[in-house]
Chains A and B, each alone.
Chain A
Amino acid sequence: EVQLVESGGALVQPGGSLRLSCAASGFTVSSNYMSWVRQAPGKGLEWVSVIQSGGSTYYADSVKGRFTISRDNSKNTLYVQMNSLRAEDTAVYYCARGASHAEYWGQGTLVTVSS
């Protein structure tokens, strides 16, 4: 059974950093396209970043240069390192598996950026 479990969400001050994790089971992360998608409170879904099975990475303009997506094959885990956080980064962050679309979603982890 495919499972995705996010962790690492927290309250952080503007300008701070945070790393989110997404532990996968039931499949191999490195063989799949893996994405981060976020949802600000009361708002819609926003794609953040993708790491392709071949290792190429892409980012939304809103996070480019501040966020870094990566994976640890030995732990079968996806990460996103978030630096220079802003109030507008406040959201539930979901990890998802899929190339053209999100076949599977995690339950999400909340990141709040506030002083």
Chain B
Amino acid sequence: QSVLTQPPSVSGAPGQRVTISCTGSRSNIGAGYDVHWYQQLPGTAPKLLIYANTNRPSGVPDRFSGSKSGTSASLAITGLQAEDEADYYCQSYDSSLSGWVFGGGTRLTVL
């Protein structure tokens, strides 16, 4: 059972928009800690996609965007492409655990 809650799967057709939610609690997201998102393509290491709630590292397309409100955060992907098919994880810090916490991951399927 992950500390942060994500839907196990989402799907969308090419060109569509999908969102992935990440719900935490008062000891992590709700305490004001930033949320970060990672993309993991099959058989590869995770890659940073969004950091500090809304920021994209260099090289990440602006089709990816993040937001945060209260005890939750969301990742939005617009203009869905086949290459976006991957697992997506949210991550924050938890003050009661004194370490990083991850969501269980969401598998994105491009139909």
Contact = CB atoms under 8 A, between A and B. Distances in A.
Range of interface residues on chain A?
20 to 34
Interface stretch (A15-23, A78-86, A98-106): A98-106
Given A44-B102, A61-B97, A101 B51 contact: yes
B36 interface: yes
> Interface size class for chain B?
20 to 34
Interface residues of B, dominant DSSP: strand
Contacts, number: 59
Interface centre among B46, B57, B89, B93 (most CB of A within 10 A): B46
B46 A100 contact: no
Contact of B97 (A45, A60, A100): A60
B45 interface: yes
B16 to A, nearest CB: 25
Interface of B: 2, 33-34, 36, 38, 45-48, 51-52, 57, 89, 91, 93, 97-105
Interface of A: 35, 37, 44-47, 49-50, 58-61, 94, 100-108
**4 closest A-B pairs by CB:** A101-B36, A47-B100, A44-B105, A105-B45
